Amino acid sequence: MSDITKKIAEKIVVAAEDKKATDVRILDVEGISMVTDSFVICSANSDTQVKAIADHIEKELDQDGIKMLHKEGYREGRWVLMDFGTCITHIFVQEEREFYNLERLWGNEHPVHEED
């Protein structure tokens, strides 16, 4: 994962955690996916929280000059996908995350926080 992609992913993680996202993970999919280099995946407790996390990520990255290319799923709020080019963010309500299990599908996970 390039330094630029890593910095974008880390900014997304911070913004998601600001809005109490849980189980935040970064997946390195460079060389596996033809559309992006990394995924940031996180969970929320409700549709409302999913939207709040998405709004905050978009606002924070926009302030840093990082423009979102595309967003899907916002109206329903069960799974929002945000495309920032080299980094795609997936914000799920927990049940959807368990069902789709992107971590198993894509693998190559990098911990967000090191264990103490």
Asked whether residue 111 is assigned to any structural domain, the reply reads no
In a domain, 79, yes or no: yes
The residues with which 91 forms a beta bridge, in sequence order, are 42, 80
| Mean pLDDT, all residues of the chain | 87
Q: Does any domain span residue 16?
A: yes
DSSP letters spanning 21-74: -EEEEEEE-BTTBSS-SEEEEEEESSHHHHHHHHHHHHHHHHHTT----EEEST
* Listed residue (90, 69, 95) closest to 79, CA to CA: 90
pLDDT tens, residue by residue, 31-64: 666 678 899 999 999 999 999 999 999 999 999 9
Using pLDDT thresholds of 50, 70 and 90, give the confidence band for residue 101.
confident
CATH assignment of the domain containing 44: 3.30.460.10
Q: State which residues form the domain around 92.
A: 3-103
Domains of the chain: total = 1
More confident residue, 27 or 83: 83
pLDDT digits (tens, 9 = 90+) for 14-33: 999 999 999 999 988 876 66
d(Cα 112, Cα 103) in Å, to the nearest integer?
Answer: 14
Q: Are 71 and 81 in contact (CB under 8 A)?
A: yes
